[in-house]
Structures are given as C-alpha cells and as structure tokens.
C-alpha cells in the first residue's frame, strides 16, 4: 500500500531534517517504511535507514569508499520511492533553511519489475525508458549515466542480485549452509525451477513484449514470437546443451531480467539448528552478498558496483 500524501510529507520532512544527510549523498530505495500514526514522534524513523533493503545497499558500498558514505532510506514501494524523490526536492525548494539536503546528491534506486511505472516531470517518462537508456545488452551504458538521478536495477528485482552465478561459492561456504528445497542451495537448480515456471507466469504473459524487448539480443532464444511455451523451451534447451560458459551466463542474466526471483529467494532456508526466524537468516545472507559486491570491480557488467562508482564521482 502506497503512502498517503500526509505520510509522504512527514516521511520527507524527517529525511530533510536529519543531520546525517548533511554534505552526504542520499539514496532512496524500496522497502517498508516505519508506520506513521497520528502525531507519532519523528523518532520512530530512527531505524529507517537500517531496514533490510537499505541495509543491503549499504553493505554494497565499495570497500575503497572510506569517507562521506551515502545515507540510505527505505521509502515503500517503487511509486513511493519516486514520489519521495520529487517531494524532497519540492519541500527543500520551499524551505531550504529547514533542510540538510544537497539536491545534487539525491538519488533513487528502484526495481525494474515487469510492469511500467510512469514518471511525471522527469527527463525519462517511465521506468522502461530509464532501463533502455541506462542498459544495453545487460551492460551499463557508461556514456549515459550522468543523466540519471533515478536509477533502476538491470535485473528484475534487487533479489535477482542475490542469485547471480558468481555467488555459488559464497553459498557453498556460508555458515548454516543455505538449503533450497531440502538440498544444499544450487543456483543451477534454482535457474531450472525458474525456467519451469515461465509458461505459467501470468505477470510475464501480460508483459511479454516488454520482457522480450529486454533480452532479444541473447543468441538462441526464441523471442520472435509472443509465445511463452516456445520461449521456455528455447531457454531450457540452450541452458542444458551449451558448453560455452559465456553463453550460459548470458542465458542466466536474461532469465533474471524477466523472471521474478523473490519467490525462489524466499525458499532458501538455513540448514541445521538456527534459533531465529528464516527471514533473519536470509537478511544476514543478503548482507554477506552485499559485502561480496562491495569487493567487486566497477565493470559495466556489474550493475551495483558501477552504480556506486558513479555516485562516488559526485563526492
């Protein structure tokens, strides 16, 4: 449920008045915001930047970035993040004396998703336009990044970055070995299950042309016909039969660009004794994944590290 106009304003006022953002880059991201009830004190927001979504991106900050680290704030769903971005700018303009925000250092990171989200009064009219300008063939278009203040994930959701192929060794070595469907978590098995779910994915069916437009550069995939069954068969055939690691990686990235990963990520559980909730285990694992990204080079194929490289250039 999106924030009401009153909640949105209060949410933004607390961010603007936080001394923590002074002379800092501010990144708005998706995630549950603290509940706002009546005249509740702004102190209820004190953990706003410490919730799971914000915590993941905070963990991704490169290890070489040591001073003036960005501040991250959860802002609700994708629409809420966009609304928060523009409301912050408006409120700051109305009364800059009551704000610690540097508008040139305000950014947002939102999920790509399958549905289109329109954006008013912005250089890009909707989320797909941002994606098409920011990425090409799953790589960041470095020459275009200066235009973007609202960034979008190159994969379908933040959770898709929890399941990228290079993380298999992290899963293998992680304490309380992650379990997926009663076996040690194998990303290859997860990809196969995701592929098996393609033909029955109503959300994908309803947004098929948009999905295929994102990945039609991938060799061997049948994106010429709006037929999920044929696409599913072509993906599985290529994935099972290719011996080329580059092509296999391309297929996985294509899958993670159009097939929602959240349900599969939520099936990952701890092995053995774990006294806390499974959700806590996944949150801890996601932070370890964030630390993995914090150590990666900022190549155009590495979306999250490249995002932080772009941010750092503004410090």
217-272 per-position pLDDT tens digit: 998 888 888 899 999 999 999 999 999 999 999 999 999 999 999 999 999 999 87
Strand partners, 136: 139
With beta carbons less than 8 A apart as the criterion, state whether 265 and 285 touch: no
Q: What angle do CA 55, 57, 58 make, to 5 degrees?
A: 60
pLDDT of the residue at 257? 98
Q: Which run of H or E residues covers position 87? A: helix 78-94
Give me the pLDDT at residue 273, please: 78
Question: Is the model's pLDDT at 47 over the cut of 60?
Answer: no
Return the residue matching tokens 């994102």.
214
Distances (CA, A) of 311 to 71, 137, 149, 212, 294: 12, 22, 10, 30, 14
Q: Supply 251's token pair.
A: 């297929």
For residue 37, pLDDT over 60 is answered with no
| pLDDT confidence tier of residue 102, bands split at 50, 70 and 90 | very high
- Name the more confident of 46 and 286: 286
pLDDT the model gives residue 52? 64
Burial of 82 (0-12, 13-18, 19+ CB in 10 A): buried
Taking the whole predicted model, whether its pTM rises above 0.85 is answered as yes
pLDDT on residue 2: 77
* Alpha-carbon span 148 to 150, nearest angstrom: 6
Rounded mean pLDDT of 168-174?
96
Strand 150-152 with 106-110, pairing? parallel
Question: Which range among 31-40, 145-154, 235-244 shows the weakest confidence by mean pLDDT?
Answer: 31-40
């Amino acid at each position: 449920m999106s924030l009401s106009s009153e909640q949105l304003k209060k949410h933004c006022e607390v961010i603007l008045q936080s001394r923590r953002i002074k002379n800092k880059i501010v990144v708005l991201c998706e995630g549950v915001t603290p509940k706002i009830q009546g005249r509740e004190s702004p102190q209820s927001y004190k953990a706003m930047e410490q919730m799971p979504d914000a915590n993941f991106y905070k963990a991704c900050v490169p290890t070489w970035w040591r001073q003036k680290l960005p501040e991250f704030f959860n802002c609700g769903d994708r629409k809420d993040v966009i609304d928060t971005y523009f409301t912050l700018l408006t409120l700051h303009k109305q009364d800059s004396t009551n704000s610690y925000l540097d508008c040139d250092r305000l950014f947002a990171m939102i999920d790509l998703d399958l549905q289109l989200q329109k954006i008013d009064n912005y250089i890009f009219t909707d989320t797909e336009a941002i994606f098409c300008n920011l990425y090409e063939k799953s790589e960041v278009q470095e020459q275009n990044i200066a235009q973007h203040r609202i960034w979008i994930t190159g994969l379908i959701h933040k959770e898709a970055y929890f399941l990228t192929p290079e993380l298999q060794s992290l899963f293998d070595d992680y304490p309380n070995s992650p379990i997926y469907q009663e076996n040690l978590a194998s990303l290859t098995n997860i990809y196969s299950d995701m592929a098996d779910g393609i033909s029955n994915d109503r959300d994908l069916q309803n947004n098929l042309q948009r999905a295929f437009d994102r990945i039609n550069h991938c060799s061997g995939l049948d994106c010429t016909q709006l037929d999920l069954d044929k696409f599913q068969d072509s993906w599985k055939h290529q994935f099972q039969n290719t011996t080329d690691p580059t092509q296999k990686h391309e297929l996985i990235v294509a899958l993670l660009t159009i097939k929602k990963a959240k349900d599969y990520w939520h099936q990952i559980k701890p092995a053995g004794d774990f006294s806390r909730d499974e959700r806590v285990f996944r949150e801890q694992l996601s932070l370890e994944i964030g630390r993995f990204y914090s150590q990666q080079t900022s190549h155009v194929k590495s979306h999250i590290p490249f995002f932080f490289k772009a941010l750092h250039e503004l410090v």
